[in-house]
Amino acid sequence: QRAGLSLVYAELRLLRAVLAAGCEWAVMLSGSCLPLLRLDALREELLKYSRSVVQYHFCRGGHQRIFGIQYGALQWKAWHRREVELLAALDESMLAERWAPLEANMQKYNLAPDEAVLVNELHERIGPLEERCERKAITYTEWEEAEQESGVRRARTFHTGVPDVAWKAKSEHGALFCRKVGLLSPEDERAWRE
């Protein structure tokens, strides 16, 4: 089962904490993501961008008709403070009123709320995302084949550390993280730290 609206509310609480701490960037990751560069270098990379970095896509007819949305996005995002301020101001009770009735259908059609709610709320406040957000993946991910019964594709787990292809994606495409890395052995952890 996919995550529900509670994940959206958790992201909003994190964004509000980012504002309270005076941060310029908020990076949303999964617990199994590993950075592909040291934290000081990661900060420098983010500061090169003048706008949020989101791997968004345009929803097709079915999602547009059923949910009334324009965009979907992978959950791994780097929000710039400008967008963080807009998102942090969202009222959770209004979000619940709008999105909770859609949650069952989102599960049915394999659309995770954290991949749709905030990008569409942002779009409704600022207009087309392409004018304010860099459309780019910040996380290297490989996808398994879709499950036959559900059609769901899941991220592949790397059990022996960050694969060479992720390091290549960092150098060639600017990937900042690798997902989904399993528990590392002491040797793999040392190799990653180097």
The structure's pTM equals 0.87
pLDDT band at residue 30 under the 50/70/90 scheme: confident
Length of the chain: 194
162-182 confidence digits (pLDDT tens): 999 999 999 999 999 999 888
2-11 confidence digits (pLDDT tens): 578 999 999 9
pLDDT band at residue 154 under the 50/70/90 scheme: confident
Of 17, 16, 26, 29, the C-alpha closest to 114 is 29
99-116 confidence digits (pLDDT tens): 999 999 998 888 889 999
Rounded percentage of the chain residues whose pLDDT exceeds 70: 97
35-88 confidence digits (pLDDT tens): 999 999 999 999 999 999 999 999 888 888 899 999 999 888 999 999 999 999
H, E, C per residue of the chain: CCCCHHHHHHHHHHHHHHHHCCCCEEEECCCCCEECCCHHHHHHHHHCCCCEEEEEEECCHHHHHHHCCCEEEEEEEEEEHHHHHHHHCCCHHHHHHHHHHHHHHHHHCCCCHHHCHHHHHHHHHHCCHHHCEEECCCEEECECCCCCCCCCCCECCECCCCCHHHHHHHHHHCCCEEECECCCCHHHHHHHHC
